[in-house]
Amino acid sequence: MIRALRPELLDSLPPEHPDAQGSRRDLRLINRVMGNHRWFERTLPGLLQPGERVLELGSGEGDLGLRLAARGAPVDGLDLCPRPATWTTDRAWHAADVRTFSSFADYPAVIGNLIFHQFSDDELSELGANLRRSARVIVACEPLRCRRSQVLLTLLGPVVRANHVTRHDARVSVAAGFRPRELALRLGLTDGAWRVSCSATALGAVRMVAVRNS
């Protein structure tokens, strides 16, 4: 499958729209089934050094950041959406666009769950240049771009009673997703300055851990 970007319906809806609320519910279930948040819980804490701050790109409703905070990881959020009412008061929330965010230098660790696939190759190249200036750790979980992922999501939709927004966006997300190591390549993390580990799961996720060489 050639990587192809198309607009996702969720991005065009106000946060309070019933279809948007239903789609976010679906996403929570999909993340649970795929084990994405549990993987971040297992992976991230051991990579952090004392005092390092974490920035989550595309934080949405803050579910992942709050789970990691409960594990002692100091996560700040970055999203176009307003600060969620449930977001902890001692952590920052940046209501901003990832592509124009100007404070990456404050964050040695950057994470993203199902967000990098929303950017074009050129945007990923520019984002990677920004991250490489200051980040020490980059951890990401993205859709695996393959026919099997399309089939799995088609089968999963009725199981979680996904609404039309989720079903549309799931197909779009897989088409814009990555093959193993492809995200690292797009972000410019394959030049020998980084230790990169990439894997694909049976349930259709690509997981990347990149740590800058000391």
Where do the domains of the chain lie? 9-212
Q: What is the pLDDT of residue 152?
A: 79
Q: Along the chain (214 residues), what's the average pLDDT of each consecutive run of 10 residues? A: 93 91 91 94 96 96 94 94 92 96 97 97 98 97 91 77 90 95 96 95 95 94
Q: Is 88 exposed, middle or buried (0-12, 13-18, 19+ CB in 10 A)?
A: middle
Q: What is the pLDDT of residue 5?
A: 96
DSSP string, 66-83: HHHHHTT--EEEEESSPP
Q: What is the pLDDT of residue 154?
A: 76
Q: What is the pLDDT of residue 140?
A: 98
Q: What is the dihedral of CA 11, 170, 60, 48, to 10 degrees?
A: -140
Q: What is the pLDDT of residue 98?
A: 96
Using CA atoms, how far apart are residues 7 and 192, in angstroms rounded to an integer? 34
Q: What is the pLDDT of residue 94?
A: 98
Q: What is the pLDDT of residue 45?
A: 95
Full-model pTM: 0.94
Instruction: Select from 3.40.50.150, 3.40.50.300, 3.10.180.10, 3.20.20.70 the CATH code of 9-212.
Output: 3.40.50.150
Residues 6+ apart with CB under 8 A from 150: 171, 174
CA distances from 81 to 21, 33, 58, 130, 161 (A): 13, 25, 9, 22, 25
Q: What is the pLDDT of residue 198?
A: 97
